[in-house]
Amino acid sequence: MFCKLALRNVRRSFRDYGVYLLTLTFGVCLFYTFNSIEGQGALRYLAKVGNPIVNAIMLLIDIFSVVVAVVLACLILYANRFLLRRRKRELGTYLLLGLSQSQVSRLLFLETGLIGLISLAAGLLLGVLASLGLSALTLSMFEIDLSGMLAITFSPKAAGKTVLYFGLIFLLVMVFSGVQVSRSKLIDLIHGERKNEVLKPRPLLFAVLQLLLGVICLAAAYAILLCFGMALAVAILPLCAAMLSLGTVGTLLVFRSLSGFVMKFAQNHPRFYYSNLNMFTLRQWLSKVHTTYLAQTVVCILLLLAIGITASSIGLNNTLSTMTDQEAPFDITVQNRSADHSGPIDFPARLKKSGFEPETLLSAQLDFSARYNDPAITGIADISSVLALSDFNAICQLQGKAPIELPSGGYLMLDTWGDGLVTGSLGLSAAVVEDEVAQQLDVRRQYWSANYAGDRQRTEEQLLPILETLQSEAQLRVDSRLSIYADMMGNKILALFLGLYLGFTFLLAAAAVLALQQLSQAADNTRRYAILRRLGAEETLISRSAAQQVALAFLLPLGLALIHSAVGMKAANDVIAYAGKVDSVQSSLVTALVLLIVYGGYFLATALACGRMARNA
Amino acid sequence: MEEILKVTDLTRVYGKGGAVTRALDGVSLTLEAGEFTGVMGPSGSGKTTLLNCVSSIDRPNSGSILIDGQELTRLRGRELARFRRERLGFIFQDCNLLDTLTAFENIALSLSIVKAPARSIDKRVRDMAERLGIQDCLNKYPYQMSGGQQQRCAAARAMVTHPALVLADEPTGALDSKSAGMLLDRLESLNREMGATILMVTHDAFTASCCHRVVFLRDGKIFLELRREDRSRKAFFQEIIRVVSGMGGEMADVL
């Protein structure tokens, strides 16, 4: 009997609470997708080339998963509370019919279990597809063609973890609903139709003052962030606390007073106020303010986090990828750091001896030395090494840059560590001097750089072991483009994964909270729409009013969050700009797109459902 | 006198095949301008069905409904909504005020819906509120008002657009006798002063006794029609009671 009733209720909730199931499924899908990255192409590639970042990524994903699980647990509990409130009358009827409270609790247990099973199965299925998509995305970021690494995989470990975490969450929900039912009184359940909140009409001045105070708080928070910059504003605790609390209070005040402000404003403009159903729509908005302003503040902050994190991670990503080319002008550079006492090594000869054919396998080679700086000869103080002009021009020629000329007795100071001259870096501060001057100085380090001719991967695999054997006679440091690239890709993927993971979670939470709230209100509103219809209001006006209410709820937090994040991104860009230039236009566009898809999807689904409820009222 | 409502041979059948219920079975009724007419009858006699058909919420199977010269059964969709909001006013048993709007706004809403000029709304609402004696609670929300005040507010909402016909479905059904008396008083004076045409469905003989005439329905047919003529309300009430007790059955329980 119970099973049948539970099944029937679940089937009904498919229709009524699609958003709840959708959210559960998305949550499971998100959780699985990011926990299964170990088996995804990009990480398998990084693991294959022995990149240590793989472990770091896995560890961070593990830690962040706990955060995500907590957020999702709060979200699901919140959603469940909404559903229970909507079902008060139904639960009251069960009790009235003579079911005991423990029986009703058991019924809810069964329902939650069933819904949990369904959403777990659907979420895992979706997750397998989503992880394929994420895999394709990350693999496409590599410059090397790795499409061979793409395959549909199922990670039992990630699935197990997902089932464990969500099992715990569902257990929590079950206990929660059980407690909720056992603590409620029958009379409250039967008369569970929510009463309208008591509205105290406040004078216009009050709303204006609140709004003004809110705007001042926000302006102060923005000022702190922009004046001190993100690095300081976040690192110094009093500043950080002041900024966050001012921002939160400001947001809260704006959401609390905005509707009253608009309302009073509209009332002074009868032409607007009395046209169509504007009066009704505004009143609806105002009547829910005290239940929604907290939620809207939370949603606004979640959206801010989602936008900020996603945009920064994508921005950082682009920064990292432009850095690769600067750091690795050659396929490989070997530094002989003991060249000053053991002398330079004849790399081509040694390679040939070990069975490596430099003539066929390498397309170009370059061997030069950095020499000790003697201020007495060069006339340059504060520099630890010098390069000969002919060597420097050879590097330029190989890199396709124009050679330079020095005036007699002149020199050229290089950037801090001679970035971009060799793969890796010189590791010394250096200046370029004329050949005649350089020849008077002792050799300090030898640099041998080369470009591969054929298959880079295979060439490097042949070359590295030989260089390894040379370590015994000299202190060598090997930097290859492929290894730097793999490091970069590791960082890139780390930033992208974590950013997307958290960003999506917060976005999902924000959108789901709003959708549930709106749907629940729409159900309350059906009676009101029926009255409007009886009064002869046109269908289009009623549907429009329903859509406007949903739009107000979704767009207001989004609008404020966009303003917040525009300010935040400006500050964050200054920080990231230390590491490199951020392509903020592109990252903003991608963020907007991601936001549009998830948030817009929820908005559309909610607006459609609310419209349907209004039409069927 | 001008005919506001002319119902001819109205039939409404529920169900199919063997299990048919004839809720209305050839009802004909004419209301003249400024008439205050009551419809009585036991449960299941077709009162509400008649009201639903006249108010265009339900559609009859056959027959015609002419309101102010317009054939209601031929209107569809938008035209119907337009007709409903411009020519009809409704008062329901559970007054159906919007709980998020103040009394003033509830009354103003029906003016908004008929797209009345914004400038005139304030005056019209206050005017009508005064006629119904609710000018003091215009800024209150429905839950802050008594049941009687709510129902008078609903009456004001129905009347403020000056509809050709006001349809009232058990308007005193949920009220105590004092509030009911006050509401009927106001309806009567509105009928007298403004010449509003009212069709009221009721269970209650006392409520019915303030009408000009009362139509009794039974099993979907008009069973009897009483006119008040020049009699006092008390005498009319006595006669209604006599008919009701004569009808027997459920209707007699009302006493």
B222: nearest Cα among B17, B4, B1, B28: B28
Residue A276, chain B, CB below 8 Å: the answer is yes
Q: Do A276 and B101 touch (CB under 8 A)?
A: no
Residue B79, chain A, CB below 8 Å: the answer is no
Number of helical (H) and strand (E) elements in chain B, helices listed first: 9, 10
H/E segment holding residue A43: helix A41-48
> Mapping DSSP to helix (H, G, I), strand (E, B) and coil, where does residue A332 land?
strand
Number of residue pairs across A and B with CB atoms under 8 Å?
80
Q: What is the pLDDT of residues A312-335, one digit of tens each?
A: 777 666 666 666 666 777 888 888
Inter-residue contact A282 to A266 (CB < 8 Å): yes
Query: Is the same domain home to A30 and A171?
Result: yes
Residue of B nearest to A529 (CA): B98
Distance from CA of B94 to the nearest CA of A (A): 11
Largest CA distance in chain B: 57
At A125, the pLDDT band (50, 70, 90 cuts) reads: very high
At A377, the pLDDT band (50, 70, 90 cuts) reads: confident
Query: Is the same domain home to A170 and A284?
Result: no
Residue keyed to tokens 């990252």: A587
Query: Is the same domain home to A425 and A500?
Result: no
Quote the mean pLDDT of chain A. Answer: 79
Provide the residue type at A427 as one letter.
Answer: G
Would residue A418 be called left, alpha or beta, if left means φ above 0 and alpha means ψ between -120 and 50 degrees? left
- Chain A residues near residue B112 by CB distance under 8 angstroms: 274-279
Query: CA A304 to CA A571: how far, in whole Å?
Result: 14
Query: CA A617 to CA A233: how far, in whole Å?
Result: 52
Q: Do A279 and B86 touch (CB under 8 A)?
A: no
Q: Final residue of a domain: which of A142, A164, A195?
A: A195
Q: Name the residue range of residue A399's domain.
A: 338-474
Instruction: Kindly provide the ipTM of the predicted complex, given to two decimals.
Output: 0.81
Q: What is the pLDDT of residues A448-485, one digit of tens each?
A: 888 888 777 778 878 888 888 877 777 888 888 877 77
Query: Is the same domain home to A46 and A124?
Result: yes
Q: What is the pLDDT of residues B64-92, one digit of tens each?
A: 888 877 787 787 777 887 888 888 888 88
Q: Final residue of a domain: which of A419, A449, A474?
A: A474
Count Cβ atoms below 10 Å from residue B195 Cβ, excluding itself: 11
Query: Is the same domain home to A288 and A224?
Result: no
H/E segment holding residue B168: strand B165-169
Q: Which two tokens stand for residue B97?
A: 């005020």
At A64, the pLDDT band (50, 70, 90 cuts) reads: confident
Query: CA A251 to CA A45: how far, in whole Å?
Result: 45
pLDDT, mean of residues A433-442: 82
Please tell me the predicted confidence (pLDDT) of residue A14: 66
Inter-residue contact A161 to A61 (CB < 8 Å): no
| Contact partners, residue A459, CB within 8 Å, separation at least 6 | A331, A361, A362, A452, A453
- Chain A residues near residue B84 by CB distance under 8 angstroms: 534-536
Inter-residue contact A498 to A60 (CB < 8 Å): yes
Residue A534, chain B, CB below 8 Å: the answer is yes
The separation between the first and the last C-alpha atoms of chain B, rounded to the nearest angstrom, is 35
Query: Is the same domain home to A266 and A280?
Result: no
Query: CA A3 to CA A5: how far, in whole Å?
Result: 5
Question: Percent of chain A having pLDDT more than 70?
Answer: 87
Query: Is the same domain home to A327 and A437?
Result: no
pLDDT, mean of residues B126-138: 84
Dihedral sign, Cα of residue A17, residue A18, residue A22, residue A25: positive
Inter-residue contact A517 to A525 (CB < 8 Å): no
Beta strands at A362-372 and A443-452: parallel, antiparallel or unpaired: antiparallel
pLDDT of B8 > 70? The answer is: yes
H/E segment holding residue A460: helix A456-470
A183: nearest Cα among A108, A111, A102, A106: A102
Query: CA B206 to CA B255: how far, in whole Å?
Result: 10
Q: Which two tokens stand for residue A563?
A: 């303003």
CA dihedral A126, A128, A133, A139 (to 10 degrees): 170
A200: nearest Cα among A267, A289, A274: A289
Top mean pLDDT of A417-426, B14-23, B119-128 is at: B119-128
Inter-residue contact B28 to B50 (CB < 8 Å): no
Query: CA A224 to CA A250: how far, in whole Å?
Result: 14
Provide the residue type at A419 as one letter.
Answer: D
Residue A283, chain B, CB below 8 Å: the answer is yes
Dihedral sign, Cα of residue A90, residue A96, residue A99, residue A103: positive
Residue ranges of domains in chain B, CATH in brackets: 3-92+164-254 (3.40.50.300)
Q: Final residue of a domain: which of A224, A255, A271?
A: A271
Number of structural domains found in chain A: 4
> Mapping DSSP to helix (H, G, I), strand (E, B) and coil, where does residue B101 land?
coil
Beta strands at A476-480 and B70-71: parallel, antiparallel or unpaired: unpaired
Query: Is the same domain home to A310 and A267?
Result: no
Query: Is the same domain home to A21 and A114?
Result: yes
B64: nearest Cα among B9, B133, B108: B9
pLDDT, mean of residues B3-28: 81
Query: Is the same domain home to A390 and A426?
Result: yes
Does pTM top 0.90 for this prediction? no
Q: What is the pLDDT of residues A157-195, one digit of tens each?
A: 888 999 999 999 988 888 888 887 777 776 666 665 555
Report the b/e string of B120-131 with b at 16+ CB within 10 A. ebeebbeebbeb
Residue A536, chain B, CB below 8 Å: the answer is yes
Strand partners, B89: B166
Please tell me the predicted confidence (pLDDT) of residue B255: 47
Cα dist from A270 to A44, A274, A311, B105, whole Å: 66, 6, 43, 12
Between A427 and A449, where is the model more confident?
A449
Cα dist from B240 to A293, A409, B39, B179, B190, whole Å: 57, 127, 11, 22, 23
Residue of B nearest to A528 (CA): B98
B89: nearest Cα among B152, B24, B151, B155: B155
Query: Is the same domain home to A323 and A347?
Result: no
Distance from CA of B122 to the nearest CA of A (A): 9
Query: Is the same domain home to A35 and A167?
Result: yes
pLDDT of A584 > 70? The answer is: no
